[in-house]
Each structure stands twice: as C-alpha cells, then as structure tokens.
Amino acid sequence: MTPRELVPREREIAVIGLARSGRAVVMLLRKHGYTVYASDVATSPETGKVAEELRGLGAVVDVGRHHVERIARAGLVVTSPGVPPSARPTSTSRENNVPIASEVEVALNFIDGPRIIAVTGTNGKTTTTALIAHLLRGLDIDAAEAGNIGTPLSEIALREQQPKWISLEMSSFQLHDTPSLKPAVGVLTNLSPDHLDRYSSVEEYFADKARLFANADAESVWVVNKDDKAVVRMVRDVGGHKHWFSVSKKAEASLDARTGQLVVMGAPLLARADFPLLGQHNVGNALAASLAVMAADRSHQTPKARKGIAKALTTFRSLPHRLELVGEFGGVQWINDSKATNVSSTAVAIDGMERPTVLLLGGRHKGETYATLADAVRRKVKRVIAYGEAATIIATDLRPVVDVVRLGDDFEEVMRAARAAANVGEAVLLSPACSSYDMFSNYEERGERFRALAAKEA
Ligand code: ADP
C-alpha cells in the first residue's frame, strides 16, 4: 500500500507539542518528505534537545511559544493527546478550518503490514493492551504495544522491521482525531464517567469512545464487556462480530465461579489462581485480552495456541502504579495505585483490598462525586486521608460514611498521617481518584514519591 498524500507537499504540517509522540511524528513526517513546523510552550532542557534534533532533520521548531498565525495557515495540524481542545493552537486551527489529526492518525498512514488490535475503555486499557502483546509474544509472534501505553505509533512506523501485530491503546482524546482507525480487532473494556474537566458531559466523552466503531462493517471483530450496561448499549447497533466477556455472567469468555477457571471459547483456559494479578477487574482484563488474541486469528485457537496463551497469562506481571504492592513495612502493606485517576478505578481497587485499609484520596478534582465510593469504603476502609485540591469535596462527600482526615498539599505529611493511622495487619492504599497535576508532574511521579516515602515511613 502506498501511503496517501496527507497534504499537498507545498503545504506545511504543524505539530503541536514536542513530547515523545510529537517528536516521533515529526521524524516520521520528515522521513516522508513533508514540510513541518513544530512547537511547544515548554522550555525544559529536554524540549530544547528535542528541538535541536528535529531542526537537524529539517523541521522548523519553536520552543517556549506557538506561532499561532503560522499554525492557522498550515495544511494539517497534528496534536498530542496532552493538548486540550481549548488550547490556543487547536482552537485557532478549528476556527480557521485547518484539519486536525492525532499522531496515531498520521502514523496509521505509514503502517503497512502489521495488523492492529485496538483497545479503549475508561479503565484497564493499559493493562489489557500490555496483556494482548504479551500473549501474542507467548505464541512466538512478533508483537508490539503502542499508543497511549507509551510507545507512540509513529515510533513503530519508523522501524525498518515492522512487527506482525500491534496492540494499540487508544484514549478518548486520540480517538477523537483518528478517523481512519479500522482495527482487525477492537476491544472496549468498560465505560464510566471520566475527564469531566475536559468534556462538557459524559455523553460527549462516551461519543469519543464510540469512535472506535466508526468504520465498523460486516467483517469487523469486536471484544466487548457484557457486565457493563453502557458498553452493551453502545455496541447494540454496531456491525460485525461481537465476542463478549464477563466475570459474572455466561459469555464466550467468562469466569466459572464453581471451578474457578477462566473459560474461553468453549473450554477452560486457566485457573484464576494461576493468573498472578490482584482484583476481579484484572480477571476481566485477562478474559478480554485472551478473547481478543484468539478472535484475531484462527491459528490462535488451536490446542497448542491455547496452551501458549495460558502459559503467558501465568507469567504476566502487574504494571507499576496499578495496585502494585510496594512492600510490607512494619506489618503494614503499602499499595501504589497512583494510576487510579478516576472514581471508578478507585472503586475496584478498594473492592480488591483484603485488609482494613487507610485510603489516600486526593489531587486535582475532575468533576465526579466521591459519594459513589461510599459502599466500597464502608466495607474496607477505616480512614480516608483527603489531600490536595480535592480534599474539601472528598471530605464533604465521604464524612457521612467514614472517618476523614483533611490535609493540604504536603505529601510527606499525608504519608506520616497514613503511617500513624495504619496498624499491624492493615494496609495503606494510594488510589487517589484524582489527577496528580496539583502536586506532581504526573501520576508516575506521585507513585514514585509514595514508593520512596513508604519505605522511609517504615
Ligand atoms: P487505563 O490505561 O485505562 O487507565 P490501567 O490498566 O492503567 O487502565 O489501570 C488503571 C487503574 O484502573 C488501575 O489502577 C485499576 O485501579 C483500574 N482498573 C484496571 N482495570 C480495570 C477494569 N477492568 N475495570 C475497572 N477498573 C480497572
């Protein structure tokens, strides 16, 4: 397949943001001879280095500012998922009718050969995406994970040797500007309110998720969650073949409560006890990933392939910052779930707790109520430590059901309070239900601080 012409060659393509995906897409566009203007408001030494590198490849690069008039004249604007639609460069491109594409949309144009399993949903995307690639590799297949998980699709498109399969994590923001996506298999893990700081309503957010199905036809293959009413509703009229998974109902991939087996495509695959991740939600992720890999190709359904998939499930390890046991210090378990940045992901984390728990909740409020955590909190949590910008709202929402200590934005103080509250045999869980941007640069930094301080607090 010859890539289609993205814009006439005399027009400029503007790339907004020079983080990893911005850098990769500029390299890809330059490799294919496009004229590129790239800019980032950040002025960090890292951005400066990237700018130099890209200038060396012939791109025009601005650091510390966006040349908005120049962007308005571009033939195409490529945005990174971190840039909100309200930001000047994107709003200006919209006002001037400049087409906007995600980095993934551009990269898809240069991906020829590999087949794509695309994964979206509110929670469990990264885990499921990583699982799918791991299971494919368990079948001795050359597979790569890409997209929102960390490796931009453009980096894969730049490789000399393309993998056979790509497991591609898609956020709602990426889906918004990726109209060409037509995966071999599409996976929708679940749907619940999130990102209400960037969307004006839940419907608007769900509508972006629904773009996974935009190019559905009779040949399409989907893997979807039978336990989730919003998912069932969304895919009702979508064309193609639907493979359902469920942790509580009969489905093509399900958990047999009687035998404790994960049952996929008509036969037991593996005992739950042999899959190492904590929490029932991760059983759902394992079922979705196994079903996606098997549905992707008939050769993945043979008895030998099933054995390979089952073995690979046993060797998958939890990803950092996702219900990750940091250690047991002074008889207290310290669990880092910093990636839980919305209320529904925190709810599953609390449900998965086996010990009385001190819960660290807080950060930048994203618009959801914390009152929906009340049932789970009542069952498992002895004290909530509410901190950061959201502390007051959390305290108001949860004081009726649990003891809440309200603190400010000193994370060391938060950790000292956690240590003081937790007794031998109990657990401290960082599952904040909020974004980290009020106190940290991202959720990884928040999780690393937790890890470092947990060991110190011991
Ligand atoms: P995402 O990439 O969608 O943010 P991750 O796999 O990184 O998802 O997991 C993020 C958090 O979401 C985890 O820390 C966990 O608490 C929660 N989570 C993971 N899988 C699921 C699921 N299937 N359903 C609900 N919550 C989940």
Domains 111-315 and 324-456 belong to one CATH topology: no
Q: What is the DSSP letter of 3?
A: P
pLDDT of residue 221: 98
Mean pLDDT over 426-440 rounds to: 97
Ligand 1 centroid distance, CA of 363 (Å): 18
Where in the sequence numbering do the catalytic residues fall?
A: 125, 148, 195
222 Cβ contact partners less than 8 Å away, ≥ 6 residues apart:
185, 186, 187, 188, 213, 216, 235, 238, 240, 241, 242, 243
pLDDT of residue 458: 58
Whether 85 has a pLDDT exceeding 80, the answer reads no
Q: Is the CB of 190 under 6 A from ligand 1?
A: yes
Q: Where are the domains of the chain?
A: 13-98, 111-315, 324-456
Distance in angstroms (rounded) separating the CA atoms of residues 370 and 24:
38
pLDDT of residue 1: 56
Residue type, 183: P
What topology does CATH give the domain 111-315?
A: UDP-N-acetylmuramoyl-L-alanine:D-glutamate ligase (3.40.1190)
Q: Is the CB of 340 under 6 A from ligand 1?
A: yes
pLDDT of residue 89: 85
Q: Output the pTM of the full model.
A: 0.90
13-98 carries CATH number 1.10.240.10? no
**pLDDT digit string, tens, across residues 109-120:** 999 889 999 999
Whether 438 has a pLDDT exceeding 80, the answer reads yes
Identify the CATH class of 324-456: alpha beta
**pLDDT digit string, tens, across residues 340-380:** 999 999 999 999 898 999 999 999 999 999 999 999 999 99
**pLDDT digit string, tens, across residues 187-215:** 999 999 888 888 888 999 999 999 999 99
Mean pLDDT over 371-399 rounds to: 97
Q: What is the chain's mean pLDDT, rounded?
A: 95
Distance in angstroms (rounded) separating the CA atoms of residues 170 and 21:
13
pLDDT of residue 457: 57
pLDDT of residue 2: 67
Ligand 1 centroid distance, CA of 107 (Å): 26
Ligand 1 centroid distance, CA of 124 (Å): 3
Contact 283, 323 (CB under 8 A): no
